[in-house]
Amino acid sequence: MPRPTTPATPTTPTTPTAPVSQATPSARIAAELRRRIESGELRPGDRVPSTRAITAEWGVAMATATKVLTTLRKAGLVRAVRGIGTVVADHPDRPDRPGRPRPRAAPIAVPPAHPPRTDAELTHERVVSAAVAIADERGLAAVSMRQIAAELGVAAMSLYRHVPGKEDLLAAMADRAFAELPVASHGRVGWRARLETSARLQWGMYRRHPWLAQVMSMTRPLPTVRGMAHVEWAMAEFTGLPPRVMMHIAVTMLNYVRGTAVNIAAEFEAERATGISSEEWMQAQDETMDLILRSGNFPMYAAVLNEPGLEMDLDSLFGFGLDRLLDGIALLVSPTERAPAE
């Protein structure tokens, strides 16, 4: 006797799709960010998650995160903006989300013209401040007596009464930067704490003034009273070491911070010239790096790039190197002084 059959339930034909599990992690994350962009959740000009944010939110490797942003960039959905990062690209043919107007470009503010000033209004401090401001905004190459005079609204020749020449100006600019490094004038904290504090203060100084690494020199140092005072403070708790050893320690520390900070200056100039951040530049190298790693000849690189939450940037490299440098200096001091102060 044949068994009764259950009538088939009519279904709506659907287009076969690949299981979500078959999609790569980078493809799934890119699809989610694309959904946010196309739905209007992320509008033109809004920042999209950086590679670090992607690794933190989805728990993927840095290499996967770079693939995500590379995919979105190739699709024309995002673009790099200097000083901001990766943002949603403009799409004139796509209406914005209802109720959320398209952002308008901010009007360009036209600064008022400088009123004429007399030489009597000029001071050394005003000249140096103007030079620092120009270098911070446009780089050291933009600093000239003519440009400073234009900023201050005075004749270029009048500046030489306050700054004899370019080298004197650079020394004054460096001295001004060191003036921003507040250090404790009293109390004993230990030689290691002093050196570390000094190095980290200098690192922050280079972060604020990327041009400064081009001014500082180990072979032709500029005389800066505040810089010398800072070094004296850093070295104040060493005892029993010959003066030549102490001087080598001081200069080695200065050179380490400055040598690492040269990369800050280079990145500042590169980003200013191209409008592409270092993160965006690394993303652009992603395909080439993948091709190299497929050879299997670089297991260390492959392991690092597949490590979730990888933190490797100038700050982490600086901190790692600083700790190792201090460990080495500890071998020069007496055993009782090697341990950091409590």
Q: What is the pLDDT of residues 162-212, one digit of tens each?
A: 998 889 999 999 999 999 888 776 678 899 999 999 999 999 999 999 999
In the chain the first and final C-alpha atoms are separated, in Å, by 91
Q: What is the mean pLDDT of residues 67-74?
A: 84
pTM for the complete prediction?
A: 0.62
Mean residue pLDDT of the chain comes to 79
- Confidence category of residue 284, pLDDT binned at 50, 70, 90: confident
pLDDT of residue 270: 79
Q: How many residues does the chain have?
A: 342
pLDDT of residue 266: 84
Which among 66, 23, 33 has a CA at the least distance from the CA of 288? 66
In whole angstroms, give the CA distance from residue 85 to residue 279: 8
Question: How deeply is 230 buried, as exposed, middle or buried, from its count of CB atoms within 10 A (0-12, 13-18, 19+)?
Answer: buried
pLDDT of residue 108: 38
CA distances to 195, 197, 257, 260, 317 from 325, in Å: 10, 14, 11, 13, 12
pLDDT of residue 15: 41
77-128 per-position pLDDT tens digit: 988 765 466 889 886 444 444 444 444 444 434 444 444 455 557 899 999 9
pLDDT of residue 268: 79
- Confidence category of residue 236, pLDDT binned at 50, 70, 90: very high
Phi, psi of 16, rounded to the nearest 5 degrees:
-60, 135
Which among 85, 72, 75 has a CA at the least distance from the CA of 45? 85
The dihedral built from the CA positions of residue 199, 205, 210 and 213, taken in this order, carries a sign that is negative
In whole angstroms, give the CA distance from residue 143 to residue 147: 6
28-42 per-position pLDDT tens digit: 999 999 999 998 889
Count of CB atoms situated within 10 Å of the CB of 323: 10
In whole angstroms, give the CA distance from residue 340 to residue 342: 6
Residue 319 pLDDT more than 90? yes
Residue 76 pLDDT more than 80? yes
| pLDDT top residue among 61 and 213 | 213
Phi, psi of 105, rounded to the nearest 5 degrees:
-65, 135
| pLDDT top residue among 146 and 313 | 146
Least confident of 18-27, 40-49, 214-223, 267-276: 18-27
Residue 216 pLDDT more than 70? yes
- Domains in the chain with CATH codes: 25-88 (1.10.10.10), 119-164 (1.10.10.60), 191-338 (1.10.357.10)
Residue 18 pLDDT more than 50? no
| pLDDT top residue among 265 and 105 | 265
CA distances to 49, 91, 136, 206, 211 from 314, in Å: 20, 35, 19, 12, 16
In whole angstroms, give the CA distance from residue 195 to residue 249: 10
